[in-house]
Every structure is written in C-alpha cells, then in structure tokens.
C-alpha cells in the first residue's frame, strides 16, 4: 500500500468502531407557577382524589412544600453527520437547552475528547482540525445537570484524496473528457478547456488541467443497514464457546459496529471475549462461557445514512440445583405411597424437564444401594404403587434434570415404614371417645405438669402439659374466667366438644373448673399448623397434596354440620398436621363455634377478615354456608399460596369480601385444573347465590378431585 492510501490501484477503506453510552430518557422536573405559589413555595391546599372498584376517596395536604424548577438537558438541535476530505477541518454543533449549570463533555468512539471544544449561548461545538483517517468515527456530545443527562451522536466520514500534478509542457488544442471508474459509487471527470496540438512520431499527448471528483448518490429506497437472517437466541452450556454472529448489508461505507450488553455496557476485547467486524458482518466470541454471561446482546451498525440494531439473547445453561426440600410421604398404604417435594431453587438457566426418583432400603448405606423408581416424572409429586413391601422401611431422594444434565440428589426423606392392612385401617380411627364432665373438685395441676406456652388468644392461653402418672403429652386451654359471660363461653365450648367425636376433629380429654380458672385438656398434635407448611419453602403444595388436605377438612366439617354446629373460624392456623412428614390433619379451636337452632336466626360479629364470609360482615344470619365460604378461601390459599381477598388493610379486605371480588392469577394457577378452580368458585359465592349441595350424598361431591 502506498503512502497516498491506494493499494494496487484501489481506494483504501477506513473502518472505525464506536462506543455508545445508552441512558434512559431523563424526565423534566418542573412545576408551573400557579396561584398560591410564590418564589418556589407552595402555600396552597392540595386535594388528591382517587378511585378504584371500592369507591372514591380524597385527601387534602396543606403543608408547605418547597418546589424547585429543574429542566433536564435537551438537544433542541442535535449533532449532524459530517463528511470531509483528509486534511480538512470538521465541526460538530448542537443547540442545548436545560437548567444551568450545564456540564458539556465530548466522546470520540467512546473515549473522552478534551481539546477544541466550546459551549456558549446554548451552542456546544467541537472542531476536529486537519482530519486524518484516525479521526473518523462516532462523536458524542453529553449534556448533564442536576435534573438528568442527555446525549447526541453523529458520524465523521473522512475521504482520502490524491494529488494529480498539473501538466504545463504541452500546448492543448482539443477538449478531451476522461471517465475513470474508481469504485461502484465514484467516477473521475477530467476536462480540458484549452486546445493545442503536438505531433511527434504520430503520438498524441494531452494535458489534464482540471479534476472534479463526483460521488454518485444512491437512489435506493431501502434501509441504510439491513440484517441478513440474524439469530434471536443462542444457547450454550457452561464452559463452551458462545458465538454471537450477525451478517448485514450496508447501503454505503464506511460502517461502524458496536456491541452492547447489560444495560449499556460496551463489549470490549478481553481475556475471554473478542469482537470481529467488517463491512458485512460482526461477531462476538466468548470462550469458556459462564452463567453471568447470560443476557441480551445488542449490535448497532451505523453508516452515514443511518443505523440499525438487533438483539440476541444469550443463555448459558447448567445443570439445575438439587430439589430444595427432602421428599415428603403421604397416602401411605401397604405397598404404595405418594412422594412430594419442592423444585430446585435454580433451574440452571433453562426449564426443568423432569425428575428422577430413587429409593433404597433402610440399613443399606452404600451408594450403589440406590435404585431408580422413575426417570420421567414431570411434576413435583409421584405416586409409587409397586415395588414396595408391607412393613418395609425405605428412604427416598429426587434429582432434577434439564437439557444440560441431571442435578445432584436432594436431601433424603425420613425413614418410611410401610403399613400393614390392619394398621392402614386403624391410622385414622380414634381411640375410645369419652364424654367429659367438668371436674370442680380438683385443680388441673393435681393431675398434670404444666410446661411451656404454645399460644395465646382472646380466650386465654394454651400450654403444653404432661400427665403426672402416664407422661402423656396434652394441650391445656386456660380460659379467662373472671366474669359469668367468660365462664359460660368456656362451658359452651366444652359442651360442644362432647358432641364432636370424629378422627378429623381435636378431642377434649378432661376439664377443670375452680374459682380462679377454667381449663380444658385436649389431645396434643405435634405436626404444627397447616399455615406453617404453606409458607415453608421445604413443602411443595401440589394440587394432589392440597386435595388430600381438603378431603380431610371436608370430612371433618361434614360431621360437624350434621350435629347442627358451625365452626365460624376456619382458617389454616386452625388446621393442625398430625406429624411433620405426612399430610393427615385435624381441625381445632371451636371457641367461636355455635349450635344452629331451627327458627332462630344466628348473627355473629367475629372472625378473621381474610377468611370470614360476607354475611358475617353484613351482620346477617349465618349458617352452614358460612363455613363453606371459609373452606373455599383455604383451598385457594393452598393451591396458590395467595389470599383471594387480601387488601392493604382490614377495611379494604372486608370490602373485597363483601363484594365477593377475586380472580385466579394466571401465573399462580397455571398448573391448577379447571375442576379445582370450579370447586373454589362454587364456594366463594354470596349467601343468596350459593346452593348448599355439599352433603347430599354419603361423601362430598368432590371425589373426582381426589
């Protein structure tokens, strides 16, 4: 290549790169001066009026507020692209408005420019003197003040020139025009206006006086830059090479390319990253890809006529994490059980495709003792119905897998002992039920040791106790019994408990009354509240396990309602699990329960806002459907982990309940069947709309759901 920029008779092409600093559009913070606003001080009263489906509300604010009028920078006249010959000067100018003081800075291909800049009377200018090929590229002006930042960019194109010496040693006598094609878009027009003639051995010599460089302007209506079949997504595994490649067609040259990722960061060369660009394509190559390379990568291609951009989503995937919880066993029988678990906390960057379930017999601790039960489980619940022996003892674990591979195993389950036929029949059968008579001759401490407190409520407190002779653990409910009304309420609950003998209902074992206190002794259930499982990430609440909970709640409440008793405080906190691993439950806390009497409307004004029925809020007569409403809310919470009527405060919650206003969130109920949603909808209806059909047959009509 010669010093004048020609290589083999062809023009030299200069390729430049540029860096764009992307910033969100700044907002203008300004307040017009109005009545009551003097010198930036707002002394007027302000009224805020809002409305939603609950009604209209307003609020007045008469506080004094100091207001500052700040206007973000704005390019009233942005920078314009500039094309000059090599050796000439180039000037960029932009007209900028905005609150003072304004800070002006310039960038050339992402690098700060410090010389030949000025800012006067709102005009920012930059002059590039004696332009050389290295000065080509993108120039960016950045204006910044306390309210925000704004920028404008333009491209400088530099054309190389070649000096042709003027011939003066021949007399010109004729006009000759030469057209020399130098490229697809340029031609040289050479003309002589003087005429002369010179003959020497039949050779003609012509001098060239004037040279005019003419550039053809494309009349194409196509875009300045067009991408050719660019990819939208690229997926690689951790450690592999990621290549993001785009081909494009440009209407003119030179072309500048830039790759941007992670909210405005420019892709630059590094130990693991390289960028290769030409006039027709550009590529980013990332060696040994990591998960933090995942994200959106945008290529911006610009020429003198405009620009275009395209975004590629890069996913660097890995094996998923192990399932987050140990498997939990439910529906245990002689040769089958149901396993439930929680999915992995991180899916590896791509969807989990399924789970492998493994089992080993208790006592066999070698790694090879684990055998695969299934490798194609598509949910977080699996029903094992073969291969298990009665009275056998087993442990289970689960692995998750995606397109990148299989995870490490989850935490092992607790040791599970399979049932026998006799045990299976007895597991929900109560011991012998007893009818309690209130003991007025002894104190509770005569027979029981009182330990730590388990809970506290409006009625009083609950303590863990143990029988002095047998050591049996029980729960003691200590009532507030200072007034006749409080004692009557305690006696009523004990009386109702004597009628509620069912495996799904907590049982009353004894009762004591003295001048200073009343105590009801109940069976102690160690599994904890169902509510605690709902909020515990170690438990997976699938539709199958939720249906098993609901079946037991319905069985227990069916028995309660047959006694003409309504609970009136059903909520997850009053559903207790029998143990820490299974799904058997019991219903507790009949402190608000009432007996229905024919011909005597019953109205109450108590309950928990999220679970209470509309008729309670409206102080209308209550009935069996009042409990069924609460059961519908419990089912909604179990399936989604959300409350259908939860408001920002109790007043808003009660308003939503009164309007019976709820919806099934698409994301939360994505994997829930229409049958389950129909069941909830059939219960969450106002009393006037609801048909009580729950107990027409010997079993609830939801058998198909379970």
CATH code assigned to 225-317: 2.60.40.10
- What torsion do the CA atoms of 578, 580, 584, 588 make, to the nearest 10 degrees? 40
Q: Is 575 exposed, middle or buried (0-12, 13-18, 19+ CB in 10 A)?
A: buried
Is there a binding annotation on residue 331?
no
State which CATH number among 3.30.9.10, 3.40.50.720, 2.70.98.30, 3.30.200.20 fits the domain covering 444-523: 3.30.200.20
Q: Is 90 exposed, middle or buried (0-12, 13-18, 19+ CB in 10 A)?
A: buried
Segment (H or E) for 628: helix 624-640
The CATH 3.30.200.20 portion of the chain extends over 444-523
Question: Rounded to an integer, what distance in angstroms lies between the CA atom of residue 235 and that of residue 404?
Answer: 10
Lowest-confidence pick of 36-50, 116-130, 654-668, 681-695? 36-50
Sign of torsion, CA 615 616 621 625? positive
What's the CA gap between 433 and 426, in Å, rounded?
15
Looking at mean pLDDT, say which of 318-327, 329-338, 479-488 comes out highest: 318-327
Q: Which fold has domain 328-426?
A: Immunoglobulin-like (2.60.40)
- In this predicted model, which residue has the larger pLDDT, 595 or 204? 595
Between 536 and 357, the higher pLDDT residue: 357
Interval 340-364: pLDDT, tens:
888 899 998 889 999 999 999 888 7
Distance CA 212, CA 574 (A): 95
Enclosing H/E stretch for 314: strand 306-317
**For residue 420, what pLDDT is reported?**
67
Q: 556's torsion region: left (phi>0), alpha (psi -120 to 50) or beta? A: alpha
Higher pLDDT, 232 or 535: 232
Residue 3 above 50 pLDDT? no
Architecture per CATH, domain 530-705, reads as: Orthogonal Bundle (1.10)
pLDDT for 310: 94
Tokens of 587: 């219903």
Active site amino acids: 569
Residues of the chain with CATH 1.10.510.10: 530-705
Which residue, among 520, 512, 513, has the nearest Cα to 493 in the 3D structure? 520
Q: Is the pLDDT of residue 194 over 80?
A: no
User: By mean pLDDT, which of 1-5, 108-112, 434-438 is the weakest?
Assistant: 1-5
Q: What is the mean pLDDT of residues 557-561?
A: 96
The answer, yes or no, to whether residue 306 has pLDDT greater than 80, is yes
Q: Tell me which of 567 and 376 has the higher pLDDT.
A: 567
pLDDT for residue 192: 39
With 0-12 CB in 10 A as exposed, 13-18 as middle and 19+ as buried, what is 628? buried
Q: How confident is the model at residue 221 (pLDDT cuts 50, 70, 90)?
A: low
**Cα distances (angstroms) measured from residue 407 to each of 366, 400, 542:** 20, 5, 21
Question: Per-residue pLDDT tens for 411-443?
Answer: 999 898 887 655 544 555 545 688 999 999 999
Mean of per-residue pLDDT scores for the chain: 79
197: confidence class by pLDDT, cuts 50, 70, 90: very low
Residue 158: closest CA among 187, 186, 137: 137
Give the mean model confidence (pLDDT) for residues 695-700: 34
* Beta strands 233-237; 306-317: pairing state: parallel
Distance, in Å, from the CA atom of 422 to the CA atom of 215, rounded to the nearest integer, reads 99
Q: Give the mean model confidence (pLDDT) for residues 638-648.
A: 90
> Does the pLDDT at position 519 exceed 70?
yes
What's residue 332's pLDDT?
A: 80
The rounded distance, in Å, linking the Cα atoms of 121 and 97 is 10
Indicate if the pLDDT at residue 523 is higher than 90.
yes
Going by C-alpha positions, the residue among 410, 496, 490 that lies closest to residue 458 is: 490
Per-residue confidence band for 86, with pLDDT thresholds at 50, 70 and 90? confident
Tell me what the mean pLDDT of segment 209-220 comes to.
45
Token pair in block for residue 560: 């309660």
* CA gap 250, 255 in Å, rounded: 7
Rounded Cα distance between 527 and 506, Å, is 13
Q: What is the 8-class DSSP label of residue 670?
A: T
- Where are the CATH 2.60.40.10 domain residues in the chain? 6-27+70-159, 225-317, 328-426
CATH superfamily of 6-27+70-159: Immunoglobulins (2.60.40.10)
* φ/ψ of residue 205, rounded to 5: -120, 130
Q: How many CB atoms lie within 10 A of CB 568?
A: 21
Reading phi first (left if > 0) and then psi (alpha if -120 to 50, else beta), residue 36 is in left
Q: What percentage of residues in the chain have a pLDDT greater than 90?
A: 42
Q: Bigger pLDDT: 316 or 159?
A: 316
Is pLDDT larger for residue 260 or for residue 367?
260
Compute the average pLDDT of residues 289-295. 91
pLDDT on residue 121: 87
pLDDT at 431: 53
- Top mean pLDDT of 107-111, 406-410, 699-703 is at 406-410
Model pLDDT for residues 240-289, shown as the tens digit of each residue: 999 999 999 998 888 899 999 987 788 988 899 999 999 999 999 999 99
Q: What is the mean pLDDT of residues 547-553?
A: 90
pTM of the model: 0.47
Q: Name 166's Cβ contacts closer than 8 Å, sequence gap at least 6.
A: 208, 209
Hey, which of 19-23, 158-162, 177-181, 427-431 has the most confident mean pLDDT?
Answer: 158-162
SS3 125: strand
- The pLDDT of 69-84, averaged and rounded, is 87
When pLDDT is cut at 50, 70 and 90, the band that residue 392 belongs to is confident
Query: How far apart are alpha carbons 62 and 549 in whole angstroms?
Result: 54
Interatomic CA distance for residues 586 and 583, integer angstroms: 10
At 56-65, the pLDDT tens digits run 444 444 443 3
Contacts of 545 (CB under 8 A, 6+ apart): 330, 338, 340, 381, 583
According to DSSP, the residues that pair with 212 across neighbouring strands are 189
DSSP 320: P
In 491-524, which positions are buried (b, 16+ CB within 10 angstroms) versus exposed (e)? bebbebbbebbbbbbbbbbbbbbeeebbbbbbbb
pLDDT for res 510? 95
Question: Which has the higher per-residue pLDDT, 119 or 159?
Answer: 119
| pLDDT score recorded for residue 532 | 83
Q: Is 377 helix (H, G, I), strand (E, B) or coil?
A: strand
Pairing, β 565-566 against β 55-61? unpaired
**Are the beta carbons of 560 and 552 closer than 8 angstroms?**
no
Residue 181 pLDDT exceeds 50: no
């Amino acid at each position: 290549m010669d010093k004048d920029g020609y290589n083999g008779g062809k023009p030299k092409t200069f390729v430049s790169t540029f860096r764009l600093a992307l910033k969100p559009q700044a907002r203008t913070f300004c307040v017009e001066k109005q009545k009551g606003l003097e010198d930036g001080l707002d002394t007027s009263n302000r009224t805020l009026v809002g409305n939603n489906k609950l009604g209209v509300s307003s609020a007045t604010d008469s506080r004094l507020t100091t207001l500052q009028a700040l206007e973000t920078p704005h390019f009233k006249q942005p920078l314009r692209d500039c094309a000059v010959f090599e050796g000439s000067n180039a000037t960029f100018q932009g007209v900028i408005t905005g609150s003072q003081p304004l800070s002006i800075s310039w960038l050339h291909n992402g690098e700060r420019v410090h010389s030949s800049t000025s800012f006067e009377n709102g005009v920012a200018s930059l002059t590039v003197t004696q332009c050389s090929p290295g000065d080509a590229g993108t120039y960016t002006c950045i204006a910044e003040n306390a309210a925000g930042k704004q920028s404008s960019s333009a491209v400088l194109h530099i054309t190389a020139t070649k000096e042709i010496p003027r011939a003066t040693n021949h007399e010109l006598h004729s006009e000759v025009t030469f057209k020399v094609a130098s490229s697809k878009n340029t031609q040289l027009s050479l003309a002589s206006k003087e005429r002369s003639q010179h003959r020497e051995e039949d050779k003609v010599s012509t001098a060239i006086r004037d040279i005019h460089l003419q550039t053809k302007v494309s009349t194409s209506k196509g875009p300045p830059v067009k991408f050719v079949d660019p990819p939208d997504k690229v997926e690689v595994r951790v450690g592999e090479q990621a290549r993001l490649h785009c081909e494009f067609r440009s209407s003119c040259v030179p072309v500048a390319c830039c790759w941007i990722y992670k909210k405005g960061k420019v892709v630059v060369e590094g130990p693991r990253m390289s960028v290769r660009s030409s006039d027709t394509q550009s590529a980013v190559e990332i060696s040994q890809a990591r998960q933090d390379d995942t994200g959106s990568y945008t290529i911006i291609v610009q020429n003198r006529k405009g620009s275009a951009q395209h975004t590629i989503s890069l996913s660097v995937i890995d094996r998923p994490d192990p399932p987050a919880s140990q498997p939990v066993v439910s529906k245990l029988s002689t040769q089958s059980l149901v396993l439930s678990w929680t999915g992995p906390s991180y899916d590896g960057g791509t969807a989990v495709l399924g789970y492998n379930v493994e089992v080993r017999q208790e006592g066999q601790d070698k790694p090879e003792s684990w055998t695969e039960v299934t490798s194609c489980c598509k949910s977080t619940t699996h029903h094992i119905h073969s291969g298990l022996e009665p009275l056998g003892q087993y442990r289970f674990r689960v692995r998750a897998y995606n397109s990148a591979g299989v995870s490490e195993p989850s935490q092992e389950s607790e040791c599970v002992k399979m049932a026998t036929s006799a045990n299976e029949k007895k597991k929900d059968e109560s011991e012998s039920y007893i009818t309690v008579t209130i003991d007025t001759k002894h104190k509770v401490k005569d027979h029981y040791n009182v330990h730590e407190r388990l809970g506290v409520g409006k009625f009083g407190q609950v303590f863990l106790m143990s029988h002095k002779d047998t050591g049996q653990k029980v729960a003691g409910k200590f009532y507030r019994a200072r007034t006749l009304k409080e004692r009557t309420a305690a006696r009523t609950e004990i009386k109702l408990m004597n009628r509620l003998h069912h495996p799904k209902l907590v049982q009353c074992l004894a009762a004591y009354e003295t001048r200073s206190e009343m105590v009801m002794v109940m069976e102690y259930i160690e599994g904890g509240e169902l509510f605690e499982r709902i909020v515990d990430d170690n438990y997976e609440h699938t539709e199958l396990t939720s249906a098993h909970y609901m079946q037991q709640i319905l069985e227990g409440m069916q028995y309660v309602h047959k006694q003409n008793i309504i609970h009136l405080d059903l909520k997850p906190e009053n559903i207790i699990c029998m143990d820490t691993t299974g799904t058997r439950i019991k219903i507790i806390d009949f402190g608000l329960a009432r007996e229905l009497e024919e011909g005597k409307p019953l109205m109450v004004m108590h309950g928990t806002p999220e679970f209470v029925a509309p008729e309670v809020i409206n102080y209308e007569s209550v009935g069996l459907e009042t409990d069924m409403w609460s059961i519908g809310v419990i089912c909604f919470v179990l399936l989604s982990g959300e409350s259908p009527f939860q408001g920002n405060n109790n007043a808003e919650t009660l308003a939503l309940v009164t309007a019976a206003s709820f919806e099934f969130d698409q994301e939360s109920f994505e994997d829930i069947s229409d049958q389950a949603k129909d069941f909830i909808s059939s219960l969450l209806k106002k009393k006037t709309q609801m048909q009580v059909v729950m107990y027409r047959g010997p079993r609830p009509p939801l058998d198909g759901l379970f």
